[in-house]
Each structure stands twice: as structure tokens, then as C-alpha cells.
């Protein structure tokens, strides 16, 4: 029997009409038994030789995976980024790759704002100290008084820019592929953004060109005490360099939802001015529901287009 693999660690199969349609069409649905991001080998094992479709998370879908999953024809990412997918290998093996870029954008933007406010007002540190019996009177900073640098003006970055403007913050932005910015946002070179911004928030894709974009040199160009926010992709930040910059005081605070290796066990765990969350940017109930519906719908349409299912 042909199978549909759902590799995301949480997916509401029972309340997804498109999954029900696929099951009624004769597909067997297989979930992720590990309840975490799959390794390359685990993805190969789970796909096997019977999977024709996959609703994917952020596991590595490589040449080796596509070569092993010889009947796989459609991959539908439950999310926006495709940096974990070898798109050239997918094309060579006749696999269509789809995504849901719009669905998680608001959720990720709102998390970035929450992390920004928490970092500026030291909310997490104060909470932890209070629970030990202390009554800290820690002074924070107003978002309204800061210059926020947005690196990447895509779906998420533009939302974050608007939200920062609603707090009366000055917003500057850098995006190599954008020639016009939203009203009130100044487009500037990256070096200028790093030196002028009190808060630097990353909202760009990850590839070889952006690997460790925020490295030791970039951190050194930032204002002393600047805040770094990353809700995009872990590989954008050199986590070791960021930990050292936090320890020295060059960087005042950082908040990250994404890491090069997940689950995360690196040096930022020892930094009291680092706020760390477990890749939950899209995990708002409403956004997640939309993502799952769209991912399943995309998969259904992709299988129909591939001639593996009848339309309707």
C-alpha cells in the first residue's frame, strides 16, 4: 500500500480534512515515532520504498534520502523555509517540493516581538531571581527608544518592522533582494545596520552565503550592549561567538528560537542574558492549524498533478 509520511513531531491528523481525503483515497498515513527532528537515516527508514508523499518538518532531505525513497513524488513542507531540502536532488529524482510560506509568518513575527521585549526588560532573568526569593529592581530599556535593525524584509521581517513602528521604535532594514521598504523604514547597508542598531533581528533565509552572518566580526561592529534576536535559522549565528560576546558584555542580551543543532546543548545555555526557546516560532494554535491544512492541501494537489491520485 502507498504511504504518506508525516514527519513533523506534532500534527493533528484527525481534524485535517485533506488528510482524511488522502486516507479515503487509499493512502496509509505514517507518523514520526521519535517525536523530534529526524536524522537523515531516520528519514530514509521512515519513507521506505512505499512513500509517495511526505509532509515534512525540518529534517535533512538530501540526495541520499531522495535516492533511497525511490517512489517519493511530492514533499510538502509544513512551514516556509526550504534550506533543509536539497532542491537540486529533489528535481533530479522527480520530486515536487512545496511549502506554506504565508501561514507561519504572523506567529514568528509575534514571537520575535515577545523575545525583543523580554530581552530589553530582562523579564526572564527577573522571573528566575524572584523565584529564588529575591525581589530584583532591574532596570530595562524602552523599545520606543531603540533603533531596531531588521535583516531580511520578507513576510516575517515586514511584519516585525510594522510591529516595532507601532511601539514608536525607529526601524532600519537590510535586504539584498529588496529595493523599496515599507513606509518609515530606512533601507541601509548591512554594516551600517550593525553599527546603528540597538536591536538586530534576523529574518532571512539560510544558505552558504548567509552561514554565520552574525559572527565574531559582526558582533564586534554592533553597539556595546546591543540585543540580538534570531527566529529565522540557526546557521545564521555563530553561537560560540555570541556566547563569548555576551560574556564580555559586548552584546547585552540575545534571544534565539533556532539553533544549528536541535535540540540545543551548546554554550548559550550558560549565558544568563540569553533567552532560548525550542524552535516554537510557528507554534501558535491558529498559525499551526493553517500550516497543517495548507501543507496537506498542497500535498493532495501535488499528488493529483503527478497523476498518483484522481482529482476530487
pLDDT value, residue 271: 97
- Euclidean distance between CA atoms 44 and 135, whole angstroms: 52
pLDDT value, residue 83: 86
The tens digit of pLDDT for each residue in 143-172 reads 999 999 999 999 999 999 999 999 999 999
Band of pLDDT at residue 206, cut at 50, 70 and 90: very high
Identify which has the larger pLDDT, 117 or 12: 117
Band of pLDDT at residue 311, cut at 50, 70 and 90: confident
Q: What structural domains and CATH numbers belong to the chain?
A: 3-103+285-305 (3.40.50.720), 105-276 (3.40.50.720)
N- to C-terminal Cα distance for the chain?
20
pLDDT value, residue 312: 60
Active-site positions read: 233, 262, 279
Mean pLDDT of 9-28: 92
Mean pLDDT of 186-207: 97
- Euclidean distance between CA atoms 52 and 73, whole angstroms: 5
Mean pLDDT of 4-30: 93
Alpha helix (H) residue ranges in the chain: 17-24, 40-47, 63-68, 87-92, 105-121, 123-130, 155-166, 190-196, 216-221, 239-248, 285-305
- Euclidean distance between CA atoms 169 and 191, whole angstroms: 20
pLDDT value, residue 60: 95
- Euclidean distance between CA atoms 253 and 214, whole angstroms: 14
Mean pLDDT of 43-63: 95
Identify which has the larger pLDDT, 41 or 309: 41
Amino acid at each position: 500500500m502507498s504511504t504518506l509520511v508525516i514527519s513533523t513531531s506534532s500534527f493533528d491528523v484527525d481534524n485535517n480534512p485533506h488528510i482524511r481525503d488522502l486516507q479515503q483515497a487509499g493512502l496509509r498515513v505514517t507518523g514520526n515515532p521519535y517525536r523530534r527532528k529526524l536524522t537523515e537515516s531516520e528519514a530514509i527508514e521512515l519513507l521506505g520504498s512505499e512513500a509517495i508523499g511526505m509532509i515534512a518538518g525540518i529534517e535533512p532531505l538530501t540526495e541520499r534520502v531522495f535516492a533511497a525513497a525511490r517512489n517519493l513524488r511530492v514533499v510538502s513542507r509544513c512551514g516556509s523555509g526550504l534550506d533543509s531540502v536539497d532542491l537540486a536532488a529533489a528535481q533530479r529524482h522527480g520530486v515536487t517540493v512545496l511549502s506554506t510560506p504565508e501561514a507561519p509568518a504572523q506567529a514568528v513575527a509575534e514571537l520575535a516581538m515577545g523575545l525583543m521585549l523580554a530581552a530589553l526588560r530582562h523579564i526572564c532573568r527577573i522571573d528566575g531571581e524572584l523565584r529564588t526569593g529575591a525581589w530584583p529592581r532591574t532596570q530595562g530599556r524602552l523599545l520606543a527608544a531603540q533603533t531596531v535593525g531588521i535583516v531580511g524584509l520578507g513576510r516575517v521581517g515586514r511584519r516585525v518592522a510594522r510591529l516595532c513602528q507601532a511601539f514608536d521604535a525607529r526601524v532600519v532594514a537590510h535586504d539584498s533582494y529588496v529595493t523599496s521598504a515599507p513606509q518609515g523604514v530606512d533601507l541601509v547597508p548591512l554594516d551600517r545596520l550593525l553599527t546603528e542598531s540597538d536591536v538586530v533581528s534576523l529574518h532571512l533565509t539560510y544558505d552558504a552565503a548567509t552561514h554565520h552572518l552574525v559572527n565574531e566580526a559582526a558582533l564586534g561592529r554592533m553597539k556595546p550592549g546591543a540585543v540580538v534576536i534570531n527566529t529565522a535559522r540557526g546557521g545564521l549565528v555563530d553561537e560560540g561567538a555570541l556566547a563569548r560576546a555576551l560574556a564580555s558584555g559586548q552584546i547585552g542580551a540575545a534571544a534565539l528560537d533556532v539553533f544549528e543543532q536541535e535540540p540545543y546543548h551548546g554554550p548559550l545555555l550558560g549565558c544568563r542574558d540569553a533567552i532560548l526557546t525550542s524552535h516554537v516560532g510557528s507554534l501558535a494554535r491558529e498559525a499551526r492549524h493553517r500550516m497543517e491544512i495548507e501543507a496537506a492541501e498542497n500535498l493532495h494537489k501535488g499528488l493529483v498533478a503527478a497523476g498518483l491520485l484522481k482529482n476530487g
